[in-house]
Chain A
Amino acid sequence: MTSVIDARGVTKSFGSVTAVNDVSFTVEENRIYGLLGRNGAGKTTLMQLLTGQDFATSGSIEVFGASPVENAAVLQQLCFIKESQRYPDNFTPRHVFATAPWFFSEWDAEFAERLVGDFRLPVNRPIKKLSRGQLSAVGVIVGLASRAPLTFFDEPYLGLDAVARQIFYDRLLEDYGEHPRTVILSTHLIDEVSELLEHVLVIDDGRVIIDQDADELRESATTVSGVKSTVDEFVRGREILHRTGIGGLTSVTVSGLTASERRAAAGQSLELSPVSLQQLIVRRTGSTEKEFEQSA
C-alpha cells in the first residue's frame, strides 16, 4: 500500500461555521475514490484544502509526502477540476487546451482532441457563450487529458446529459486502465458512479463518517423482506438501518449478515437483497433519498 494523501485532524472553520471538522484519512495510490456527501457537507472545502487552494485552520495535510500549500513540486502532480472553475475573459476552449499542457507534463493532446469530438465541444466559441454542459465538458477534458497522478473531480458533470456522463465514465475507466492514477470523484449521483468506485469516503456535516472499500461497504448491509412477524423475529437485536412495510409485509435493512445467517434466512423463506450504495449512504447520513438527490 502506497499512500498519496495523509490527512490528520484537519479542521477548517469559516468564522463560527466549521466546514471540515477534525478529519483524518489516507488515500492510496492508483485507486478511484468517491467523496460522497450532501450539499454543504464539506466536500468542496476538503478538496480545496487537499489541493492547497484553501488553508486549514488546524491539522496536517500531506500530499505526496509534503504540504500542498504553495508547493510547486506537489501541485504539478495534481489536477483539480471543479464545477465552478473560472476562465480568463474571452478565452475559448482552444485557449484552455493550449495552456493546460504548460502545467501538466503528462498532457495527451491527441486524447484531448478525441474527447473534444466525443463531447462535440465547439472549441472556438468563447467560454462565456458555452452552455452549462459544454462548460463542464471543458473541465472533464482537462481532467482526463492532463493524466495528473492525482486528479480531483468536484461534481464535474453539471449540465451534462446522460449520454455525455456515460462517455465521461467510460473514458475515465479506459484511460485509468492504461494509465493508472489516483482519482477522487465528488458526486451526488452515487448509483451512476458506484461501479467506478473502489473506495468510498462519505462526509457529513464536516466529518468523515464512512471510509471503506466500496465492495466491503456494499456487503455491509442487506435488506430482509418477508412476512412482518418472521422478519421482526429474524432482525431482533440487530442494527436496523431502515424499515418499510406494506400491510403484513415488511422490508428491513440490517448490517452485514454472515453466510450461515443468510442460509437461515433462506430457510425461513425470507428474501434477501443487496442494498445499493446510494441507499446505504442515504441511510447512514440520516437523510431521505429525495433530499440526497436534490443536493448537488
Chain B
Amino acid sequence: MTTMTSIHTAPAARPASTRIWNAARLQFTNARQAIGLPWLILTIIFLANLAIWLILYASTSGQDRADVSEGLQYSGATSYIFVYMLVVAIQAISRTFPYALGLSVTRRDFYLGTSVAFVLFSFIYGGGLTLLSYIEEWTGGWGVGGRMFTAVYYGSGPVWQRMFVFVALFLFFFFVGMASATLYVRWRAAGLLTLGGVFLAIIVAFVGLATWTKSWGQVGEWFATSGPVGVVAWTLVPTVLAGAAGYFILRRATPKN
C-alpha cells in the first residue's frame, strides 16, 4: 500500500440487540407457514381423532367407555407437532441460513436470533397445548372421553408442570433439529452419518449394559418415579448441549450450493 492510499473504515455496527432481533424476525416473516400451518394440521388431526372417539363413544357404554378413555391416555396424536418443529428447525438452517448470510448477517447474530425465535415459538406452542389440555379436562374429553393433550407423557399436574413439559419438549426438538442441520451444512452427509453412528453406538451400549446387568426393571422404575416432569427435565441436558454445539459448528460453516 502506498502512502497516497487511505482506508475507508466502516461506521460502528448496529447494536447487537437490534441485529439479533432482526435475525429472529426472519423466522416470523412467513407467519402463515410458521404458525398457521401447524395449527391447521393439528386441527385436522384433532377432528380425525374426534370422529374416532365419537364412534367409540357411541358403541360402548359403562365400564367399557371408561376403559376406552383410560386407553386413550397413550394417544400419540400430538407427536406430529413436535416433529414438525424439528423440520422447521432443519429448514431454518438449510434455507434461512444461506439467505441470512446473503443479507450480510453474521453467523453469530443469525444463530442467536434464530434461537430467540425458537424459544418464543416454544412458549407460544407450549402455552397453546397447555390451554388445550385444560379445555380437554373441563369438557370431559371434548364430551366423548377423548384424550389428546392430556396424554400420559405430558402429565396432568398443575399448570406450570404442563407448561414446562410442553415448552421443554419443543425446545428439545428445535435445538436438536438445528444442531443436526448445522452438521449437514458444515460437513454434509459425512457429518450426519458420523452423528448417527455415534448415537447408534450410545444406544447399543446402553441397551447392552442394561441387559447385561439385568437392570431393565430399574430403568422402568426410573421412568415411573421420575414422572413426565422428571423425565422431560433431563431432556434439557441434550437440548443445551445441542444448542451450544450448533453454535460452534455454524460459526465456521459456509453455505454450499
A interface with B by C-beta (< 8 Å): 1-4, 6, 26, 29, 48, 51-55, 62, 64-66, 70-82, 84-91, 95, 98-100, 102-105, 148-149
With a cutoff of 8 Å between Cβ atoms, the chain B residues found around residue A62 in the complex are: 7
Partner of B8, one of A3, A70, A104: A3
Is B30 a contact partner of A91 (Cβ separation < 8 A)? yes
Is A2 a contact partner of B105 (Cβ separation < 8 A)? no
Give the contacts of B235-257 with A (CB-CB under 8 A). Answer: 251-252, 254-255, 257
Is A3 a contact partner of B255 (Cβ separation < 8 A)? no
Is A85 a contact partner of B98 (Cβ separation < 8 A)? yes
Partner of B9, one of A52, A65, A70: A65
Q: Is the interface of A mostly helix, strand, loop or mixed?
A: loop
With a cutoff of 8 Å between Cβ atoms, the chain B residues found around residue A85 in the complex are: 98-99, 102
Is B22 a contact partner of A86 (Cβ separation < 8 A)? no
Is A90 a contact partner of B30 (Cβ separation < 8 A)? yes
Given known contacts A51-B104, A53-B101, A99-B26, what 16 new A-B pairs fall within 8 Å (CB)? A6-B1, A26-B5, A64-B7, A64-B10, A65-B9, A71-B13, A72-B13, A72-B14, A81-B102, A82-B102, A86-B98, A86-B102, A86-B255, A90-B33, A95-B29, A103-B103
CA distance A29 to B7 in the complex (A): 9
Give the contacts of B98-150 with A (CB-CB under 8 A). Answer: 98-99, 101-109
Is A76 a contact partner of B9 (Cβ separation < 8 A)? no
Is B10 a contact partner of A65 (Cβ separation < 8 A)? yes
Is A65 a contact partner of B25 (Cβ separation < 8 A)? no
**Which 10 pairs between the two chains have the least Cβ-Cβ distance?**
A64-B10, A73-B13, A72-B13, A65-B9, A75-B104, A102-B22, A84-B257, A103-B103, A86-B98, A65-B7
Is B104 a contact partner of A3 (Cβ separation < 8 A)? no
B interface with A by C-beta (< 8 Å): 1, 4-14, 16, 19, 22, 25-26, 29-30, 33, 91, 95-96, 98-99, 101-109, 251-252, 254-255, 257
CB distance from A273 to the nearest CB of B (A): 36
Partner of A86, one of B5, B10, B13, B95: B95
CA distance A73 to B29 in the complex (A): 24
Most B Cβ at <10 Å: residue of A80, A89, A105 = A89
With a cutoff of 8 Å between Cβ atoms, the chain A residues found around residue B108 in the complex are: 70
Which A-chain residue is minimally distant from B26 (CB atoms)? A99
Query: Contacts A73-B10, A76-B13: A1 and B4 contacting too (C-beta < 8 A)?
Result: yes
CA distance A212 to B6 in the complex (A): 19
With a cutoff of 8 Å between Cβ atoms, the chain B residues found around residue A2 in the complex are: 5-8
Is B254 a contact partner of A80 (Cβ separation < 8 A)? no
Is A87 a contact partner of B99 (Cβ separation < 8 A)? yes
Is A88 a contact partner of B91 (Cβ separation < 8 A)? yes
With a cutoff of 8 Å between Cβ atoms, the chain B residues found around residue A54 in the complex are: 254
Is A88 a contact partner of B96 (Cβ separation < 8 A)? yes
CB distance from A65 to the nearest CB of B (A): 4
With a cutoff of 8 Å between Cβ atoms, the chain B residues found around residue A78 in the complex are: 104
With a cutoff of 8 Å between Cβ atoms, the chain A residues found around residue B99 in the complex are: 85-88, 91
